[in-house]
Amino acid sequence: MAIRTQPVSINIGPQHPSTHGVFRLRVTFDGEVIIGLEPIFGYLHRGKEKLAEARTYTQFIPITDRADYLASMSNNWGYCLAVERLAGIELPERAEYIRVLVGEMMRISNHLMAVGFFLNDCGAFFTPLLYMYREREKLLDLFDMLCGQRLNYNYMRIGGVSQDLPVEFLPALKKFVQEMPGYIDEYEQLLTTNEILLARSKGVGVLSPEQAVNASVSGPVLRACGVEWDIRRADPYSIYPQLEFDIPTGIQGDTYDRFYLRIQEMRQSVRILQQAITGIEQLPHGVYRAHVLSLVRPPKGEVYSRIESPKGELGYYIVSDGGVSPWRCRMRGPSQLNLTALRDMVLGWKLADLIIILGSIDIVMGEVDR
């Protein structure tokens, strides 16, 4: 005999630890099965894009740090690249190599946290997360050595970077690059065949390639669906066309694929770092920034520029009226658009599955509520 049930709507949040209390899910259940979901954001109200209009082009760089604060350097890069294209500024080759170095270090740092917190959501408590923190701490030491900051870097400048690499930086980075493949092997041995992780994540939260493309999903969430789309190849920038690296993709587009893809991407980032280190050692010291006036005045016009941030396509749309501040600045944050596909991933699953599916997307609310 069928049991009649009545759908129940439950508010989850806003108090998830990794979202700083600014994200809410309105979930509709039929018994224990999810039949509806609405992600509700907008609690943070940061107004970054409006702040850009009241600051010079250079003054806005530190504010970009506060968007995706787990990948601050990528936000610096995306914004500076947009201004440079609008103003027609050419960068010294050394500056391009330095940007690639810090960009790929940032990707590894971000993915370490994404994987660690995902495993925590799966119920692995803090042991794997502490393993990830161990390597991330080395990267933070390198960033500290480079610019004196460990979270919000403010390192990029329009035309290059704020300062050259210190003498001790490259030897320390070489040591990290030599050690990191062994640590990634360790992650794989501990995690990829773990029966609890497989049971919790295999076939769970599947997102089809069609759903992902229609939702404008990007980054690891898109590539886990089998779509080989990476801005570093699809719309090349900086020195990426000169570098050899693969674009890992998933098969099923499930929660496991999103987790494992980030581990594969860390391997490719190490590969890029090895090539960039070799390249930068062959370049002269000192030329790390183009000659750019402190008050940049791009000509009237507009530009949309994008990079492949650790979470996906990070874009900046800037309109110039010829003044020292953007007339309009608009940011395309990958966290927000990736989050809009959450409903497609969770329908038919249960509450415990919802937690790990959300964790597999890797969002930062500072990038969602801009």
36 located within any domain: no
- At residue 303, what are phi and psi to the nearest 5 degrees? -150, 145
How many other C-beta atoms lie within 10 A of the C-beta of residue 211?
16
Compute the distance between CA of residue 339 and CA of residue 24 in angstroms, rounded to an integer. Answer: 12
Query: What's the confidence (pLDDT) of residue 22?
Result: 77
In a domain, 212, yes or no: yes
- Domain membership flag for residue 311: yes
Cβ atoms of 227 and 249 within 8 Å: the answer is: yes
User: What ranges in 148-254 are assigned the alpha helix state H?
Assistant: 169-191, 195-201, 209-214, 220-223, 231-234
Give pLDDT, residue 271. 97
Structure token pair of residue 158: 């329009």
Residue 294 included in any domain: yes
271 within domain boundaries: yes
Confirm if 60 and 79 have CB atoms less than 8 A apart: yes
pTM: 0.94
Joined tokens for residue 112: 């370490």
Q: Quick one: pLDDT at residue 237?
A: 95
> Which domain range does residue 118 map to?
56-326
pLDDT by position in tens, the chain (length 370): 566 678 899 988 775 555 555 788 899 999 889 999 998 888 777 788 899 999 999 999 999 998 888 999 999 999 999 999 999 999 999 999 999 999 999 999 999 999 998 998 888 877 888 989 999 999 999 999 999 998 899 999 999 999 999 999 999 999 999 999 999 999 999 899 889 899 999 999 999 999 999 999 999 999 999 999 999 999 999 999 999 999 999 999 999 999 999 999 999 999 999 999 999 998 888 789 999 988 999 999 999 999 999 999 999 999 999 999 999 999 999 999 999 999 999 999 999 999 999 999 988 888 888 7
For residue 224, is it within any domain?
Answer: yes
Tell me which residue of 335, 300, 303 sits closest to 317, measured CA to CA: 303
**Strand, coil or helix: what is 110?**
helix
Asked if residue 14 has a cis previous peptide bond (ω within 30° of 0), the answer is yes
* CATH code for the domain in which residue 243 is found: 1.10.645.10
What 3-state DSSP class applies to 11? strand
Phi-psi region of 21 (alpha: psi -120 to 50; beta: other; left: phi over 0): left
pLDDT computed for residue 253 by the predictor: 93
Write down the pLDDT at residue 279. Answer: 92
Q: Please state the domain count of the chain.
A: 1
* Crossing angle between the packed helical segments 93-119 and 127-147, to the nearest 10 degrees: 160
Check residue 19 and report its DSSP letter. Answer: G
**What pLDDT does 63 receive?**
93
361 within some domain: no
